[in-house]
A and B are shown apart, each in its own frame.
Chain A
Amino acid sequence: MKYQYFFRYIFYFFFIFYSNSALSIDSLNDKVKKLTLELRCMTCQNQSVYDSDSDFAKDITTLVEDKFKEGLSEKEIKVFLTKRYGEYILFRPYFNIKNLLLWLFPFILLILSLGFFIKGLKKY
């Protein structure tokens, strides 16, 4: 049963680094970049606000910067923006009842198929 140690080792590894990344603190620029990457430039074709050069994107970027400076959190800015422009502006849809299927689907499938796989294993 050597491989058990092998997998346990890998698991520990990932666990440590996941917990590590949650603690990191971002600067204002990083925060703006992170958020604007998730916003759709409404006047472009499938481009994020961050990547775009259009006037709309510039306005939104300054708006986001100002809101961050006012002390709003990322979540509050998103709420503000969706009130103004609709949920269409978010590239990462909200996790709510409407989008429940969207978010849970892959993971439910994963768990289900894992269950079937274990059931199919030969007993030895």
Chain B
Amino acid sequence: MISLIGFSSLCLSTFFSILFLIPNSIFKINIKFFLLFFRFSTILICISFSSLITAYIKSDFSNFNVFQNSHSEKPLIYKIAGAWGNHEGSILLWLCMISIYGFLYSLMSKSLDDFKINVLKIQSSIFLIFAFFIIFTSNPFLINSVEVNEGLGLNPILQDPALAIHPPMLYLGYVGFSLVFSLGIASLLSKNDDKNWLIETKRWSIISWTFLTAGIALGSYWAYYELGWGGWWFWDPVENISLMPWIVGLALVHSLLMTRGEQAIERWIIFLSILCFSLSILGTFLVRSGILTSVHSFASDASRGLFILLIFFLTTGFGLLVFLVKSPIKKNHLNLLLINKTSALIINNILMIIAMLTILLGTIYPIIIEVLTNTRISVGGPYFNSTVLPVLLPGFLLMSIAPVLSWQSNKIKKFRVYVVFFLFLSFLALIHSYFTVFNTWGFLGLILGSWIILASIISIILRFKFLISLNYIKSINSFIAHIGVGLMILGITFSSIYQKEYSFNISVGEEININNNILKLENIKVVENKNYQSLMAVFSLRKKGELIDYILPGKNYYPVSKMITTEAGIYHDWLKDIYITLGNEEDSTWNIKIYLNPLVSFIWIGVCIMIFSGFIAIFKK
């Protein structure tokens, strides 16, 4: 019954979207009715998705999708999360969000009616394409052909709070770019010279970018404690795929913040909007078609892959075609000087695009080679580290000074202050590297990260006018975001280069001393939980005789799917993480791995600051 409601509202909503596409010349709809129908269609698709969630909550195994991905003994939150923990449900969520973005846009937009209708029409054609995709290849409302009392269960690795909200966040980002895409195309099609679309594009791209940042961060935080590999970024193909729209989105946001009515930059902005959404779809194609090997495995199906590839070519082709035909030809020259704000912006955009293209090439290169020469190669972390990072380095260097450059001239404001501080900082970094093991990347990361932070702080102080108001915070927002990036660079540098790793075989009661941190294996216990058993090692962490905390690494066994997951035990500190994973037992000694990860917390703090300043920027006029 629930499945029936879900499917019929999905179909109805699709039907309404077809209605919107009737050209004005045949049947002109009044704007009021148009908006009414659009919102009605959104409500229908929301009903459809909530009925899927209801089916999951009630463990309605007459629905085939629920039967395959759920189990009645799961905690409630994972029953809900199960709705988007599989291919069909997640595409329905994606579809639902396309519509919701259109809905919110129709409520908040202050554009002219014609423009608004154009945006919503493009949005609903995207909606339509994905709706057909769902109905024809991945319907979550199929009825189970046999009657069963129990489901097959959700992949245990997904049963985790961070991962439960990771897909919706990520999709809010990806799908948000669909609205940015629609805005870009609509602005090309619009006949009058209204600049309101720039303001709207800015708002929506910042919103999407912020959500995408949060989604990626959640995913990598999950990878940090769940995979138990000691790191948090592995250049996994799926990670790369999420990074590509993120980088382009970042370039887009920067271009939008910098535009001063130059036609060339406006064209560039439209191009980036098209690129962003295309990359989101391309990512979906690569993940869902199953041609990549990755931690993220979805039940793959050739017909689905083909369909998404079709969607990709359709939207990208359409977008680029409109871009080529309709884009303004009139050219006014950019104010490019050797070192002013416009050129800094352009260099930054170029570098980001090159980084994105490198990641794209590295991700699909194994596929190309396999098709052409029938040999398998892998392109992994070492490749990306030695190509993407050098490309980004000058960008990071530029980032610290870009906000103080001027628009019109070659001068840097308060140049001396910056040089003095930079000299001072490099001196400190030199001393630091003298007393520790010298490492080129470590040194570069240290100096870049701290320089970005310092330069941003100087800029904030120089702008301080003895009054902290919301406007002041808005005016220093870009510096705040850059401080976040600086902290992140520091965190990444330290946690990857100065990471220390130890491997021990110990038995219960033994103690280990690492840098005056005394770890004692107190005991090993087995805990029965609702849907899994967990084996936990209890470590006590003492420093100078005082008990600080217990660290509980372990393994969970999920009987439903007969899978074992590792759970890293982590002790968080501002300056370091003590990260323990539990290995196998041999002759009553346990193999454990201990990582000392310095400054990991900086990464998460940096990301939080970036997200925070993203939210501030949404309200900035």
Q: Flag if A20 contacts B438 (CB, 8 Å).
A: yes
A117 CB contacts on chain B under 8 angstroms: 336, 343, 346-347, 350
Contacts of A102 in B (CB 8 A): 361-362, 365, 379, 383
**Residues of A close to B382: CB separation below 8 A:** 37-38, 91-92
With known contacts A45-B293, A88-B377, A102-B379, A109–B439 Cβ distance under 8 A: no
Q: List 10 A-B contacts (CB under 8 A).
A: A6-B419, A20-B438, A20-B440, A92-B386, A93-B378, A101-B365, A102-B365, A102-B379, A117-B350, A122-B335
CA of A30 to CA of B419 in the docked complex: distance in angstroms? Answer: 38
B376 touching A3, Cβ below 8 Å: no
Interface residues of A in 83-103 (CB under 8 A from B): 86-93, 98-99, 101-103
| Interchain CA distance A1-B480 in the complex, whole Å | 30
Judge if B338 is at the interface, Cβ distance under 8 Å. Answer: yes
User: Are A90 and B378 interface neighbours, CB within 8 A?
Assistant: yes
Report the Cα distance A24→B336, complex, angstroms.
42
Name the residue on A nearest B340 (C-beta). Answer: A122
Give the CA-CA distance A40 to B236 in the complex, in Å: 12
Report A's interface with B, CB cutoff 8 A.
2-3, 6, 10, 13-14, 17-18, 20-21, 24, 37-38, 40, 45-48, 51, 53, 86-93, 98-99, 101-103, 105-107, 109-110, 113, 117, 120-122, 124
In the A-B complex, list the 9 residue pairs whose CB atoms are closest, starting with the nearest.
A91-B380, A92-B382, A21-B440, A88-B376, A106-B358, A113-B350, A87-B377, A109-B354, A51-B229
A39 to B246, CA, bound (A): 28
Q: How far is the CA of A120 from the CA of B349 in the complex (A)?
A: 15
A123 to B443, CA, bound (A): 37
CB 8 Å contact bits of B366-399 with A (1 = contact, 0 = none): 0001000101111111110011100100000100
Would A91 and B419 count as touching, CB distance under 8 A? no
B391 contact from A13, A37, A110, A124, Cβ within 8 A: A110
* Chain B residues whose C-beta falls within 8 Å of the C-beta of A18 in the assembled complex: 440
By the criterion CB–CB under 8 Å, are A46 and B293 in contact?
A: yes
| A98 & B369 in contact (Cβ 8 Å cutoff) | yes
Number of A-B residue pairs at CB separation under 8 A: 122
Give the distance in Å from the alpha carbon of A2 to the alpha carbon of B412 in the complex: 10
- Give the interface SS of chain A, mostly helix, strand, loop or mixed: helix
- For the complex, give the distance between the alpha carbons of A86 and B369 in Å: 13
User: How long is the Cα–Cα vector from A3 to B340 in the complex, in angstroms?
Assistant: 12
* Cross-chain contact B379 with A91 (CB below 8 angstroms): yes
Known: A21-B440, A40-B378; 18 extra A-B contacts, CB below 8 A, are: A6-B422, A17-B440, A17-B443, A17-B444, A21-B439, A40-B380, A47-B234, A51-B230, A87-B375, A87-B376, A88-B376, A89-B378, A91-B381, A99-B369, A102-B362, A102-B365, A117-B336, A122-B337
How distant is B262 from chain A, measured CB to nearest CB, in Å?
12
Is B426 in the interface zone, CB < 8 Å from A? Answer: yes
- Alpha-carbon separation in the docked complex, A91 to B385 (Å): 11
Q: Is the CB of A86 within 8 A of B375?
A: yes
With A93-B383, A120-B334: A99-B236 Cβ-Cβ less than 8 Å: no
Shortest Cβ distance from A6 into B: residue: B419
Most buried by B among A86, A88, A89, A92: A92
Partner of B294, one of A20, A46, A87: A46
Q: A91-B378, A120-B336 are in contact. Are A109 and B357 (CB under 8 A)?
A: yes
CA distance A51 to B235 in the complex (A): 14
B40 adjacent to chain A (CB < 8 Å): no
Residues of B within 8 A of A121 (CB): 336-338, 343
Closest partner residue, chain B, to A21 (CB atom): B440
Q: A112 to B488, alpha carbons, bound, how many Å?
A: 30
Contacts of B444 in A (CB 8 A): 14, 17
- Asked if B129 lies at the interface with its beta carbon under 8 angstroms from chain A, I say no
A71 vs B229: C-alpha distance when bound (angstroms): 30
Distance in Å: Cβ of A58 to nearest Cβ of chain B: 11
Known: A21-B440, A46-B236, A105-B361. A99 touches B354 (CB 8 A): no
Question: Which B residue sits closest to A121, measured CB to CB?
Answer: B336
